[in-house]
Amino acid sequence: MCGLVAIYAYQHAALPVEREELRRIRDHMRLRGPDGHGEWLSADGRIGMGHRRLAIIDLDPRAAQPMTRANDRYVIVFNGEIYNYRSLRTELGRLGHEFRTQSDTEVILAAYQQYGSQMFAHLRGMYALAIFDQVEQRLLLGRDPFGIKPLYYADDGWTIRVASQVKALLAGGTISSAHEPAGLVGFLLTGSVPEPFTTHAGIRAVPAGSYVEVDAFGIRRIAMHSHLASLLHHTAPETLPRGALQERLRAAFADSVGAHLVADVPVGVFLSGGIDSAAVLALMREQSPNEIRSSTIVFEPFRGSELDESALAQSSADAYGATHTLRSVSNTELRDDLGALLAAMDQPSIDGINTWFAAKSCREQGLKVVNNGLGGDELLGGYPSFSTVPRWRRLAALPAALPGLGQLVRRISYPMLKQWRPHLIRAAGALELVDSLAGSYLLRRGLFMPFEIAGLIGPELTAAGLERLDIRQRLSASIQPDPGSDFARVTCLEASNYMRNQLLRDCDWASMAHSIEVRTPLVDWTLYQSLAGLIRSGNLARGKQLLAHAPRQPLPAAVVQRRKTGFAAPLTHSPWDSTVRIDVGESRFGVGMQSSPARNLAAYVWTAQGLPT
C-alpha cells in the first residue's frame, strides 16, 4: 500500500513539471508510505512521478518506485497489491520477459509491455496505477474493478495531475479549491461523495474498473475494463442444490482468502463479532500455520450492550488460535482523535470511525497488513435492502405510476412530518422515488431526501448539484445492462454505490492514516467471476449461513446465531457521553437532527470540513 503522484504537462506550451510541487503532493501522503520515497522526472521536464512506499511484497530497495523498464521506456508508480503476481510472472517469463526483482510492481510493467491496456484482464488484486510510455508519450491511469484503491486527477487543459488523495492534490498548491455542487449534494443524499465527483470542481476520480489514456492532446480515452452488471448480464444463471452450493462457496472463499495472504510481512485480521470476519479468520487459519494476530475495538459507552462485540470476537479468536487484542476506546480518546480523524478524511463521509481505531490498534501491535470481512453483505444478501428495495418497488408500482400523485403527497406530507415526525421525513417522498428500482434504493439508503437539501444549502447550489449529479440515473447505470434478477440488481447497487463510495473509500483513508494496509477477501473480482451465475440466479440469497459453514471447523454457534447489528460508533448512536457529543449549533442542519444521529454526524463533518452553507 502506497501513495502515488504523477504530473504530466502534455500541452506543448505548458510549463514544465515543478519538482517542488511533485514533492508537496507526494509528501502529503507520507503516512501512506512511511518506508521510503522516490521521484522521477523526464529529461524534458514534461512528466514527473513520485511515490511513498509501505513495503509489503519484496522488501528489497530494488523494488522501490518509481520503477522503470525496457531501457527506461516505461515508468510506473503503483498503489496496492497484485495477488497473482507470481503466476503472472511465470507466464510472462515463458514469453521472454526477464525480471530483476521479486516485486509485483515489476510484473505489472512487464504485463503492460506485453498486453498494453488489455493487461487489466490479467491482474488479480487491488490497485491504482500510473504508467508512462516515453516513446509514445502516453500516460495510462488504471484502477481495480471494485475501486478498492483510490485514484484522482485534475486536468486544466494543459497539465494533468494525479494522486492517491484529493487533499494531496490540493496540497500541491496549483488546483482551485472551488467546490463541486454535485459532490456536495451527493454527500447530503448518501453520506458519501459519489464518484467520479469529489467535493472540488477541478478534481475527479478515475472510475472504478476503468482506465484513462492521456497523450500530447490531453485525455484521449476513458474506458471500462471491468463492470459488475456486465459480468452478471453475460453469465448464464446457475442454481445448485444446497450441498453442491456449499462446496462451491467453500472452494471460492478459500481461494480468495489464500490469495489475500500473499505478503512478505505478517497478515492480521480485523475481527468483529459477526460471520464475515470470523469466516475470513477461520479460512486464514486453514491455510497458514503461522501466528495470526486479530484485533477488536470496543467503545467504552457500549460495554455490556448489544453493540459490544468483544465477547463474540474473543470466541472466534479462541476457536482458531489467533493472538487476540481487545482495544478499548474511551470517550476521551475519541474526542482527542476527532481532529486528526477529520483531517485524514479525504472526502466527507459519515463512516470510517471504527476503521480509524481498528487500524490504530493494529499499528500499535506492529502490523502492516490486515484482512477484514468487508463485502460479505453485498455478495451474500446480508442487508435488508435485498428484500425491501424490490418489495417497495412492487407494492408501490401502481400508485407511483399515477402522474403527479407522488409530488402531491410529498408537498402535503413533508411540512407535517418535518414538524411532528422528523424521523419519518423520507416517507414524504416515497411515491416519487419508488417508480424505479434505483429510486427505491435511494429511498432505502438516502441520508437526506432530494426535497430537503435546498433547506440546508440553498436552492441555487442544490439545483446545480442535483442536475449535475443526476443521482437516479447514476444509480440506474449500476444495473445496466440488466444483471438478471432482483438479487443481482441489489448486489450491483450495493457494491457499486454504498460499498464503493463509502465502505471501501473510508476503509482506505482511515487505515492509511495509521500506515495499515487493509485487504478485502470478500471483495475480489476473481471471486465474483467464479460465483457470477449463482449471483444472477439469486442462489446466494441468505448466503451468510453458507459463508459460516465454509470453514472446515464451523464458526462458534453464538457468532452464527447473532442478530446483525452493524458497526457502530458513539458519534452515530445515542446516548453518547457529553464529552464527545456533536454540536451543530444554530446551523440549518440542526433541524430534525435529534432523531437521526447519522444526519447529525453529517452536519458535523460538513462544518468541520469547511463546506459551504
Q: What is the CATH number of the domain that holds 546?
A: 3.40.50.620
What's the rounded Cα separation, in Å, for the pair 91 and 499? 33
Q: How many Cα atoms occupy the beta-carbon half-sphere of 237 within 13 Å? A: 13
Q: Is 564 exposed, middle or buried (0-12, 13-18, 19+ CB in 10 A)?
A: exposed
Q: Does 484 map to a domain?
A: no
Q: Are 273 and 398 found together in one domain? A: no
Burial of 607 (0-12, 13-18, 19+ CB in 10 A): middle
Domain assignment of residue 482, yes or no: no
| One domain, residues 194 and 325 | no
Tell me how far apart the alpha carbons of residues 465 and 40 are, in angstroms, rounded to a whole number. 39
| Residue 2 annotated among the catalytic residues of the structure | yes
Which pLDDT value is given to residue 589?
54
Are both 194 and 240 inside the same structural domain? Answer: no
**76 shares its domain with 144:** yes
Are residue 508 and residue 459 in the same domain, yes or no? no
Domain count, the chain: 4
> Domain with 196 in it: what CATH number?
3.60.20.10
- For residues 533 and 599, state if they share a domain: no
Please indicate, yes or no, whether residues 219 and 275 belong to a single structural domain of this protein.
Answer: no
Q: Is residue 554 one of the residues assigned to a domain?
A: yes
Q: What is the mean pLDDT of each run of 10 residues along the chain (613 residues)?
A: 94 95 98 96 97 94 94 96 98 96 97 97 98 98 98 97 98 96 97 97 98 97 98 97 96 98 96 96 96 95 86 96 95 92 96 95 96 97 95 79 71 76 75 86 94 91 97 97 98 98 97 97 98 97 92 93 68 48 50 64 89 84
> Is residue 489, in this structure, part of any structural domain at all?
no
∠ CA 213-214-215, nearest 5°, is 125
| The last residue of a domain, from among 179, 202, 226 | 226
Does residue 503 belong to any structural domain of this protein? yes
| List 2, 362, 492, 507, catalytic entry | 2
* Structural domain contains residue 486: no
Q: End of a domain among 477, 505, 520?
A: 477
Measured from the Cβ of residue 309, the count of other Cβ atoms closer than 10 Å reads: 24
**Does residue 104 have a known ligand-binding role?**
yes
Residue 487 lies in a domain: no
Both 313 and 390 in a single domain?
A: no
- pTM value is 0.95
350 shares a domain with 300? yes
Burial status of residue 402 (CB atoms within 10 A of its CB: 0-12, 13-18, 19 or more): exposed
One domain for residues 558 and 590: no
Here the contacts of 246-250 (C-beta below 8 Å, separation 24 or greater) are 246/546, 246/549, 246/550, 248/530, 248/531, 248/534, 249/531, 249/543, 249/546, 249/547, 249/550, 250/549, 250/550, 250/551
Q: Identify whether the C-beta of residue 130 lies closer than 8 Å to the C-beta of residue 150.
A: no
Domain check: are 241 and 125 in the same one? no
Pair 248, 219 in one domain: no
Specify if 510 maps to a domain. Answer: yes
Domain that holds residue 600: 582-613
Q: Which of 207, 226, 245 is the last residue of a domain?
A: 226
Nearest residue to 182 via CA among 498, 435, 434, 450: 450
